[in-house]
Amino acid sequence: MSDDPEDRMLGWDESVFRDEHVFEIDWLPETFKHRDTQMETLKYALRPAVRGSRPLNVIARGPPGTGKTTAIQILFDELTAQTDVKTVRVNCQMDSTRYAVFSRLFAEIFDYEPPSSGISFKKLFSQITDKLVEEDEVLVVALDDVNYLFYESEASDTLYSLLRAHEAHSGAKIGVICVSSDMELDAIDALDTRVQSVFRPEEVYFNTYGQAEIADILSERVERGFNEDVVGPTVLDRVAELTEEQGGDLRVGIDLLRRAGMNAEMRASRSVETEDVEEAYDKSKYVHLSRRLRELSDSETALVEVIAAHDGQQAGDIYDAFSEQTDLGYTRYSEIINKLDQLDIIDADYTNVEGRGRSRELTLNYDADAVLERL
């Protein structure tokens, strides 16, 4: 083999990647590692649906990037392929009201979108349940990131409609899986008592992955996504270590591998080095922030911008600047503060202010420049 460095450089039409799609968040692994207990509990809860009965309800909790959505996708794929059970996963970041959730259910059941206006919730609901009874289908609904329904005060009404469907329409069989990444949210306690009495879920906890587990899981992506010998054990261990530092969120590690590969290509290198990982980490560590900011409304984004410019100031002072931009009232302003606090984008801690009593101090949980760059 030649020792000429030029022989080890990538050509312009070459890549370190074998299949870059492997580093997309929605790519499903062939083997779902270190989640056997959680999968068994989910299967136990859904087994009645296969027999034509209403399944047990489930609440799946765990920090971000611990495999909750992947578990649902794998189970739903199996149910769709092997049974007549109808499954629908709703992204509650996108569909954060009861009407939006049922519109998504309608679209998945009928294979077309409901009218954008002029149809009441009652009619939308009855068309869905009519279809289920007519086809004698059991419906399993996964409310992914259900915490967003709580942030918008829509969770109780949404779950009540789903869980009481069999009372409104005899023969309707619907089971619900609630998936939450907000570890401070006690979803059951936060529901109305009328919902608590019928929800009674099986609880599944997705614990944070350890460094060795992270390396084991990411090794499959390395094998399938990169060409041979592009990522060595030392580099993979460093990616796992940095991922663990970010709460064990696999999405950080997946993004870190992809960006490190791109950095290697920028150097025209055939292998990813530790320096590529370290450089990529400055961006990959903000993967949670980027995801959360993308889902904000215009008014919520506007408040984040104002807080970035007035970081650490009192809520009343920040409201003055915010109202100049949006003309929104203080009630809506307070609601947005609460949501941003729940999303962990800001801290809104009460402090004693001389002459003004208790007031909330608003501070970003991230570097202001990093936030503004991602808005």
> 66 and 186 share a domain?
yes
Please indicate if the annotation marks 69 as binding a ligand.
yes
Question: What confidence category does residue 352 fall into, taking pLDDT thresholds of 50, 70 and 90?
Answer: confident
Per the domain annotation, does 284 fall within a domain?
yes
What's the mean pLDDT when you consider all of the chain? 92
Structural domain tally of the chain?
3
> 219 and 196 share a domain?
no
Alpha carbon separation from 28 to 72, 211, 248, 267, 351 (Å, rounded): 11, 21, 18, 30, 46
* Among 242, 258, 293, residue at a domain's last position: 293
* Among 248, 275, 293, residue at a domain's last position: 293
pLDDT at 6: 47
What is the DSSP track for 156-197?
HHHHHHHHTHHHHSTT-EEEEEEEE--TT--HHHHS-HHHHH
Distance CA 275, CA 272 (A): 8
pLDDT at 234: 97
Name the 3-class secondary structure at 366. coil
pLDDT at 4: 47
Give the pLDDT confidence of 91-106 residue by residue, as tens digits: 999 999 999 999 999 9
Per the domain annotation, does 23 fall within a domain?
no
Please indicate if the annotation marks 329 as binding a ligand.
no
Per the domain annotation, does 197 fall within a domain?
yes
> Which amino acid, one-letter code, is at 30?
E
pLDDT at 355: 62
Poorest-pLDDT segment among 45-59, 152-166, 269-283, 338-352: 338-352
Q: Which two tokens stand for residue 247?
A: 């709460």
Please indicate if the annotation marks 70 as binding a ligand.
yes
Please indicate if the annotation marks 68 as binding a ligand.
yes
The average pLDDT across 75-100 equals 96
> 99 and 161 share a domain?
yes
> 188 and 232 share a domain?
no
Distance CA 220, CA 197 (A): 43
> 160 and 175 share a domain?
yes
* Among 205, 227, 251, residue at a domain's last position: 205
Per the domain annotation, does 71 fall within a domain?
yes
> 49 and 125 share a domain?
yes
Per the domain annotation, does 169 fall within a domain?
yes
CATH number reported for the structural domain that contains residue 219 in this entry = 1.10.8.60
| Structural domain boundaries enclosing 238 | 5-14+209-293
> 63 and 156 share a domain?
yes
Q: Which two tokens stand for residue 311?
A: 């970081």
Q: For CA atoms 319, 324, 326, 328, give the dihedral sign.
A: positive
Reply yes or no on whether the pLDDT at 2 is more than 70. no
Please indicate if the annotation marks 208 as binding a ligand.
no
Total residue length of the chain: 375
> 301 and 251 share a domain?
no
Parallel, antiparallel, or unpaired for β 138-144 and 202-205?
Answer: unpaired
Per the domain annotation, does 25 fall within a domain?
no
> 64 and 172 share a domain?
yes
> 284 and 324 share a domain?
no
Question: What confidence category does residue 25 fall into, taking pLDDT thresholds of 50, 70 and 90?
Answer: confident
Distance CA 166, CA 146 (A): 22
Please indicate if the annotation marks 366 as binding a ligand.
no
CATH number reported for the structural domain that contains residue 359 in this entry = 1.10.10.10
> 41 and 147 share a domain?
yes
Parallel, antiparallel, or unpaired for β 138-144 and 173-180?
Answer: parallel
Per the domain annotation, does 20 fall within a domain?
no
Distance CA 362, CA 374 (A): 19
Cα 14 off chain centre by:
34
Residue 99 CB burial class (10 angstroms; 0-12, 13-18, ≥19): middle
The average pLDDT across 255-275 equals 96
Continuous H helices in the chain = 36-50, 68-82, 98-110, 121-135, 147-151, 155-163, 165-168, 187-190, 193-199, 211-225, 233-245, 250-266, 274-284, 287-294, 298-309, 315-326, 330-342, 368-374
pLDDT at 356: 62
Q: Which two tokens stand for residue 308?
A: 């970035």
Per the domain annotation, does 327 fall within a domain?
yes
> 316 and 236 share a domain?
no
pLDDT at 1: 38
**Element holding 88 (H helix, E strand):** strand 86-91
Contact residues for 11 (Cβ-Cβ < 8 A; gap 6+): none
Please indicate if the annotation marks 331 as binding a ligand.
no
